[in-house]
Amino acid sequence: MEKEISITPALEIHDLTVAFDRKPVLWNIDLKLPQGKLVGIIGPNGAGKSTLIKAVMGLLPLSSGFAKLFDQDLNDIRTRVSYVPQRESVDWDFPASVLDVVLMGRYGKLGLFNRPRKADRDAAMDCLKQVGMEQYAHRQISQLSGGQQQRTFLARALAQQADIYFMDEPFAGVDAATEKAIIELLRNMTQANKTVIVVHHDLQSVPQYFDWVILLNTRLIACGPTASTFTQSNLQETYGGKLTLLSDVGDLIKRESFPNREGSAKQAL
Amino acid sequence: MNDIYIITTASLVASSCALLGCFLILRKMAMVGDAISHAVLPGIVIAFLISGSRDSITMLIGAGLIGILTTFLIEFFHKKAKLQTDASIGVTFTWLFAVGVVLISLFAGKVDLDQDCVLYGEIAYVPIDILIINNESFGPRALYIMSAILFAIILFIYIGYKELFLTTFDPAYASAIGISTSLWHYLLMSAVSLTTVASFESVGAILVVALLIAPAATAYLLTDNFKLMLVIACLAGIAASVTGYYVAVWLDSSIAGSIAMMAGVIFTFTLIFSPSHGLISKRLKATIG
């Protein structure tokens, strides 16, 4: 594990604690992530998965500890960090077109006083092409389906041309075909040495999707390559009491067969 | 000439309010304008007591500061005390307004101010309050003040368009890429305070509140393009000013009241007939679909 992080880690978290009203949501997190990996953050509801990425991006106050990206302070490398918030976090009835939203990805680099130029528009169109949404560029965002909204957000993150991407449940409410297209895109990004960190819910698809996993339940349970970290004992520790269904998941992992995605294990979680 | 002065002043107020109103309603903060327009009363009284003059600049500063304090208090109650936004707005502005009322009655002898004048204003007096420099008359003072305010707001939106647009649509993403949401929040709120204060001296707080929301809400029902929404909101505000003035002349009634009423009439008309979001077109779509 140490060998894989010989170069600068994409993300290093040290002693991180986040509390709301004195109640810790994240407790003493310590971890390092290598560059160019597709990383899944796994854990039960309320485990602090979204809180972890928000804390790292400075959207929430930290009670203690720090996070470094590429060995630097967040504020020094803001333009290299991108974020895909949860789809429900914005009002999709907002008077904006798909292209307007994707262009927001260029704002960080433009700075105050500069308006988006043709080069920015071209870059935004190119990102829409990558997510297969170019024909929707001028569509009003309220007319999009859930999957199209998600792809619009993804295109916006791509338009930022960052090096590390934090995504909060990009597969929530997305159909199977879109999910496949998105994971393909994320794979291509990691091949270009981008680091992609994804909050994920569906245990069955974890071994298929992710190179690394972070198992989280307020404290860090485990962090490492999926093959060695996504084990039944770690999962049991992460999900605590809800074990009967986890043994089902464990069986699935052992057999490496991933039949029906909407299987009983997921629903019960 | 007087009608032109009144209509122009009302249109300038309407445009300033409409532009800011678009951001307010999309941020789900429409009532903040209402809050500010009432809460600035103690600021005006205190500024008057300290400076002893009723000139606009002193009032603007006093009221502007209280306006920002108002938005700060609303944020504070909401974030720190975990009060709902509407509750924190309600608590903040009624309290500050009451302080203003108490101050006025306490210093009634010294203060040439009254609640009626602040709340209802009197746009009909605009042509009387003439700007005079070196014995030369330059037309109504309100005309100059409101032109300056409108110019400042257009400049503000022009420069900060990207940032205002993004922090309104997706504040979390804005912070993630390093755009300060609270900075733009307070800048926008300062602009609202400034406009409110400058406007109500001539047109009254109730008209300001109506013009902050109704034209922007009308525009929201007519377009899905934000830039177009800004333009339509201004046009709706101007239309309300012009028609409102003539309705007032025709009925021999309050001008500010008629303008606010026309803003409501235009909104209702749009709500029913808008081609995209109107009640009729929705009913039609439902029957066809």
- Tell me the DSSP string of A101-139: HHHHHHHHHH-TTPPP-HHHHHHHHHHHHHTT-GGGTTS
Contacts of B160 in chain A (CB under 8 A): 112
DSSP state of A143: G
Distance CA B253, CA B256 (A): 9
Give how far B169 is from chain A: nearest CA, Å. 7
**pLDDT digits 0-9 by tens, A66-79:** 888 888 888 888 88
For residues B5-15, give the mean pLDDT: 92
Q: Which helix (H) or strand (E) holds B98?
A: helix B85-106
Q: Is B176 on the interface with A (CB under 8 A)?
A: yes
Distance CA B286, CA B20 (A): 34
Does residue B139 surpass a pLDDT of 80?
Answer: no
Residue A114 lies in a domain: no
Bridge partners of A197? A39, A166
Give how far A234 is from chain B: nearest CA, Å. 31
Structure tokens at A245: 């269904």
Task: Could you list the beta-strand ranges (E) of A88-235.
Answer: 164-168, 195-199, 212-217, 219-225
Task: Could you list the beta-strand ranges (E) of B50-187.
Answer: 130-133, 136-140
**pLDDT digits 0-9 by tens, A187-240:** 999 999 999 999 998 888 888 899 999 999 888 888 989 888 888 888 888 887
Provide CB contacts within 8 A for A15, sequence distance 6+. Answer: A28, A29, A30, A64, A65, A66
The per-residue pLDDT for A241 is 61
Does residue A254 surpass a pLDDT of 60?
Answer: no
Task: Map out the domains of chain B with their CATH numbers.
Answer: 2-212 (1.10.3470.10)
Distance CA B196, CA B106 (A): 25
A269 band by pLDDT with thresholds 50, 70 and 90: very low
A108 contacts B26? CB cut-off 8 A:
no
Domain enclosing residue A214, as ranges:
11-88+164-252
When CB atoms are compared, the residue of A58, A110, A140 closest to B162 is A110
When CB atoms are compared, the residue of A85, A100, A116 closest to B173 is A85
Backbone angles phi, psi at B115, to 5 degrees: -60, -40
Does residue B205 surpass a pLDDT of 80?
Answer: no
Report the complex ipTM: 0.83
**pLDDT digits 0-9 by tens, B145-183:** 889 999 999 999 999 999 999 999 999 999 888 888 889
The per-residue pLDDT for A1 is 45
Query: How far is CA B137 from each of CA A98, B122, B130, rounded to the nearest angstrom?
Result: 52, 21, 7
The rounded mean pLDDT for chain A is 84
Contacts of B221 in chain A (CB under 8 A): none
DSSP state of A61: -
Contacts of A142 in chain B (CB under 8 A): 224
Does residue A81 surpass a pLDDT of 70?
Answer: yes
Does residue A266 surpass a pLDDT of 70?
Answer: no
Closest CA to B43 of B100, B94, B82: B100
**pLDDT digits 0-9 by tens, A130-188:** 998 989 999 999 999 888 999 999 999 999 999 999 999 888 888 888 888 899 999 99
A264 band by pLDDT with thresholds 50, 70 and 90: very low
A247 band by pLDDT with thresholds 50, 70 and 90: low
Q: Which has the minimum average pLDDT: A5-9, A214-218, B104-108, B233-237?
A: A5-9
The rounded mean pLDDT for chain B is 86
**pLDDT digits 0-9 by tens, A19-49:** 887 788 888 888 888 988 999 999 888 888 8
Distance CA A67, CA A46 (A): 21
Residue A121 lies in a domain: no
Residue A262 lies in a domain: no
Check: CB of residue A35 under 8 Å from CB of residue A7: yes
**What are the percentages of helix, strand and coil residues in chain B, rounded to 5?**
80, 5, 15
The total of other beta-carbon atoms located within 10 Å of residue A268's CB is 12
Number of structural domains found in chain A? 1
**Angle (CA) B232 B234 B239, round 5°:** 90
Closest CA to B44 of B54, B35, B33, B36: B54
Interface of A with B (CB under 8 A): 54, 57-59, 75, 78-79, 81-83, 85, 89-91, 94-97, 100-101, 104, 107-108, 110, 112-113, 115-116, 140, 142, 156, 160, 166
Percentage of residues of chain B with pLDDT beyond 90: 37
Angle, in degrees to the nearest 10, between helices B41-51 and B85-106: 30
- Which of B80, B177, B181, B220 is the best residue to mutate to test the A interface, defined by the most A CB atoms within 10 Å of its own CB? B177
Distance CA B113, CA B48 (A): 9
The per-residue pLDDT for A99 is 94
Nearest CA in chain B to A165: B176
Provide CB contacts within 8 A for B89, sequence distance 6+. Answer: B31, B32, B34, B35, B74
For residues B131-136, give the mean pLDDT: 74
Give the CATH number, domain containing residue A244.
3.40.50.300
The residue whose two tokens read 């300060």 is B180
**What are the percentages of helix, strand and coil residues in chain A, rounded to 5?**
45, 25, 35
Residue A54 lies in a domain: yes
Closest CA to B259 of B212, B210, B224: B210
Give how far A60 is from chain B: nearest CA, Å. 10
- Interface A:B, Cβ pairs < 8 A: 81
Residue A22 lies in a domain: yes
B225 contacts A104? CB cut-off 8 A:
no
